[in-house]
């Protein structure tokens, strides 16, 4: 568990220094995995139609409902690793 947490924290740091900006779909996946790993299942109210970005983020995070913290951390580490 300690190794996974350390790997996750390193991946979070690496995500800020990617050589190229990922496409929007990948950015949403990164966001959703991060939120799932750090906050758990989405319990926030869905943003209104006027907030397109907020809705996309909410939908991406909500799509991971039920994913364990460890699974989300591992997927995040793997995704950032594939982009580095």
**Residue-wise pLDDT tens digits, 2-46:** 799 999 999 999 999 999 999 999 999 999 999 999 999 999 999
Please tell me the predicted confidence (pLDDT) of residue 64: 98
Per the CB < 8 A criterion, the answer to whether 80 and 66 are in contact is: no
Please tell me the predicted confidence (pLDDT) of residue 84: 83
How buried is 12 (Cβ within 10 angstroms: 0-12 exposed, 13-18 middle, 19+ buried)?
middle
Per the CB < 8 A criterion, the answer to whether 28 and 57 are in contact is: yes
Res. 61: pLDDT tops 90: yes
Please tell me the predicted confidence (pLDDT) of residue 35: 98
Q: What is the mean pLDDT of residues 66-77?
A: 98
Question: CATH number of the domain at 2-83, please?
Answer: 1.20.80.10
Please tell me the predicted confidence (pLDDT) of residue 37: 98
Q: What is the mean pLDDT of residues 35-60?
A: 97
């Amino acid at each position: 568990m300690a190794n996974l947490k350390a790997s996750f924290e390193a991946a979070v740091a690496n995500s800020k220094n990617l050589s190229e900006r990922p496409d929007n779909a990948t950015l949403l996946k990164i966001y959703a995995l991060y939120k799932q790993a750090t906050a758990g299942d989405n319990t926030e109210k869905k943003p209104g139609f006027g907030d397109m970005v907020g809705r996309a983020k909410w939908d991406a995070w909500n799509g991971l409902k039920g994913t364990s913290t460890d699974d989300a951390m591992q997927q995040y580490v793997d995704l950032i690793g594939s982009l580095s």
